[in-house]
Structure formats: structure tokens, C-alpha cells
Amino acid sequence: MSETLKVVTLLGSLRKGSFNAMVARTLPQVAPSNMAVNPLPSIADIPLYNADIQEEQGFPATVNALAEQIRLADGLVIVTPEYNYSVPGGLKNAIDWLSRLPDQPLAGKPVLIQTSSMGVIGGARCQYHLRQILVFLDAMVMNKPEFMGGVIQNKIDPESGEVIDQATRDHLGGQLTAFADYIARVSIKA
Ligand code: FMN
């Protein structure tokens, strides 16, 4: 593991004004000094999973690029809204593609989940569906502290596109600090 922990963020929302994108954008500001946080490429251009595409054309370049960056990272943060009490279809689709790769990039990977929504419970129901999916992929998902950003629209500045509510920033920073410790504990040493 490198001295500076390389952490990448996977965003589950595709929309321009995404509140979850604002949460992801805030992470580098609140991360501990030994952690670099960078966004992964958008999942917007990943085609719908189809085994025929995989067999006839191979994995899409968008999937390979995502996988390579996840493999190189010390940890992955999934930042996502909740859709209909569950995981947004686009995010599930990206995970489905990643899961079929021969060198499946989520296996053994430290993962942190952050959900935010306009509702009061901040996407809690999505978190447990996402955890269930990641069990099958052998990801090392951190249990606690959790982050569920409720009523997130009141905690951001639409101008800067960042989280400005101090309690929420402190919570995010504290969770990333715990994630740094978790990565050190669970990562396989070279
Ligand atoms: N919010 C919830 O809290 N729970 C839900 O189950 C839920 N389902 C949604 C389903 C769809 C298809 C959409 C478009 C929104 C849903 N919402 C739900 C509202 C989202 O929390 C809200 O649109 C949020 O801003 C989406 O995240 P984003 O801003 O990062 O795009």
C-alpha cells in the first residue's frame, strides 16, 4: 500500500445537478491528510449489461477503464442516491459488468458506502441492498460509521456545488478517517 491512500469515488447519479455529485466533490476537502480522493469516470456511457456484447465484442472500454482505476486504488467510495428504496439501475448495471471481469476488481477491495437523498433517511434502504450485492462480489465493505445524508438539498451550496453544512462535513470527514484506518486493517500487505 502506498503512503498516501488512493481512494476513488463511484457516483450513482447521472444528472448534472446531482446532490450526490456535490457530496463526492466535497470529499477531497474533508479527507484526512494521508488520503487522496479522486472521481472515477462516469457510468453514463456503460451499455446495458448483455452477455452477447461481452462474448462478441468483449468488455466495453468504459468498463475496463473503470475496473483498472478501481484495481489501482486502495479503497472505493460509492456515492449514490436511492431509487425506489434500492440501488439506481445505472449503478447496478455498472456493478454487473464489473462482476463479470476475470480479474474482478471489487474482490477484497475496501469499500465505503455513502447515500444522500432529499428524504429524511438519506437513502438508508439503498445501503442495505448495495451491501447485499457487494457480499457476492467479496468486497470488504466497512460497517460503521455509516453516512446517510438526509434532506441533502438543505446542506449544499448550489453555487459552489459543495456540502456547506458543517455537521455533515464533519460526519463525512470522520467517516473517511475511519475508512483510512479500515483500509490499513483489512488490506493485504504486499
Ligand atoms: N428518494 C428517496 O429517499 N428514496 C427513494 O426510494 C427514492 N426513489 C427515487 C426514484 C427515482 C427514479 C428518482 C428519480 C428519485 C427518487 N428519490 C428517492 C429522490 C432522490 O433522492 C432525489 O431525486 C435525489 O436528489 C437524487 O439524487 P441526485 O441528486 O444525486 O441525483
> What is the value of pTM for the model shown?
0.97
pLDDT at 188: 72
Question: Best of 118, 120, 130 to mutate for ligand 1, by most ligand atoms within 8 A of CB?
Answer: 118
Three-class SS of 72-132: HCCEEEEEECCECCECCHHHHHHHHHHHCCCCCCCCCCEEEEEEECCCCCCCHHHHHHHHH
pLDDT in tens, 71-123: 999 999 999 999 999 999 999 999 999 999 999 999 999 999 999 999 999 99
* ipTM given for this complex: 0.98
Cβ atoms 141, 131 nearer than 8 A: yes
How far, in Å, from the CA of 87 to the mean position of ligand 1?
10
Name the one residue in this structure whose C-alpha cell is 436511492: 82
pLDDT in tens, 31-87: 999 999 999 999 999 999 999 999 999 999 999 999 999 999 999 999 999 999 999
Domain residue spans of the chain: 5-187
Report phi then psi at 38, rounded to 5.
Answer: -135, 145
Q: Which atom of ligand 1 is nearest to the CA of 81?
A: 27
**Distance separating alpha carbons of residues 179 and 185, to the nearest angstrom:** 10
Topology annotation, domain 5-187: Rossmann fold (3.40.50)
